[in-house]
Amino acid sequence: MGVGPRGPRGCRPGPCRSSILPEEAGHPRSCRMSMTDLLHAEDIKKAVGAFTAVDSFDHKKFFQMVGLKKKSPEDVKKVFHILDKDKSGFIEEEELGFILKGFSPDARDLSVKETKTLLAAGDKDGDGKIGADEFSTLVAES
């Protein structure tokens, strides 16, 4: 990518906004990624709107609706890092409860039931959290 209005590597000018470490994403330190750098805002809005009712969240449908299933493995990992708010390298149960807010700040929290269902679907090794590879598998199985 050349340097354009978004800067080198498609980065936005100004301080970094992403929860991805810039060097991890192959970006300069001044870059921050947001979900709309990876997914279409309209797709996110429709997907979040489809699951406003409590206990209606279906991760397979949601990942398809936001277009995540069609993304490259690298982009899926970038989404994972945005959702990993505490930068632990895992999405823990508490973070899973806020997964919709990772896509849209105004979205609702998942219910306890939805959170536990999502954790059970994604936690392949039984350690109580979802790592980057487990997240990639969860998306691929959607």
* Residues of each annotated binding site for Ca(2+): 84, 86, 88, 90, 95, 123, 125, 127, 129, 134
Q: Rounded distance, CA 51 to CA 20, Å? A: 26
The total of other beta-carbon atoms located within 10 Å of residue 65's CB is 20
Q: 3-class SS at 87?
A: coil
Report the binding-site residues: 84, 86, 88, 90, 95, 123, 125, 127, 129, 134
Distance spanning both ends of the chain, measured CA to CA: 30
Tokens of residue 63, six digits? 């990942």
